[in-house]
Amino acid sequence: MPIMVRGTDGEMKEISDRVSWIVHCPPGDQNFKDCLGEATADEIEEALDIMGCMEQKKTAIAACERELRKKRKEIRDAHEERKESLFVMLKQTRHDDVIFEAVYGESGVDES
């Protein structure tokens, strides 16, 4: 049976078990911590949307906001690493093209 909650917009919506644990467990509970650590950025945003109108959830909201910042930073860092890796590959490819051209006297790229 799906879990239904009311969001800050007043609409009822279905949520996952993980989001339900984040929304309904006290922040000191190990289940809260485990679910928060395993949650995606989208799930944390969904939990924040639901808890936004709950006055007694200030600690849980703060924990979710910290975790969301951490996950977004991880995503940015991974993106930067991929960009750097692609740059190195591109640089190596250009280096290989220069060597190919020097050895064979023509570009290794088919320009037709």
Structural domains in the chain (count): 1
- In tens, the pLDDT along 37-89 reads 999 999 999 999 888 877 788 999 999 999 999 999 988 888 888 877 777 77
SS3 13: strand
In a domain, 44, yes or no: yes
SS3 of residue 12 by DSSP: strand
Q: Looking up tokens 């909650």, which residue turns up?
A: 5
Specify the pTM. 0.63
**Residue 76 has what pLDDT?**
87
pLDDT tier at 106 (50, 70, 90 boundaries)?
low
Q: How far lies 37's CA from each of 11, 18, 84, in Å? A: 27, 10, 27
Domain membership of residue 25 (yes or no) is yes
- CA–CA gap between residue 71 and residue 34 (Å, rounded): 14
pLDDT at 20 > cutoff 80: yes
In this structure, is residue 111 part of a structural domain?
no
Higher local confidence (pLDDT), 66 or 15: 66
**70 occurs within a structural domain:** yes
Within a domain: 46: yes
DSSP tag of 52 = T
- At 51, list the tokens: 């808890």
In a domain, 57, yes or no: yes
Q: Please report whether residue 47 resides in a domain.
A: yes
Answer yes or no: is pLDDT of 110 > 70.
no
Structure tokens at 75: 């995503």
Whether 112 is in a domain gets the answer no
Domain containing residue 88: 3-104
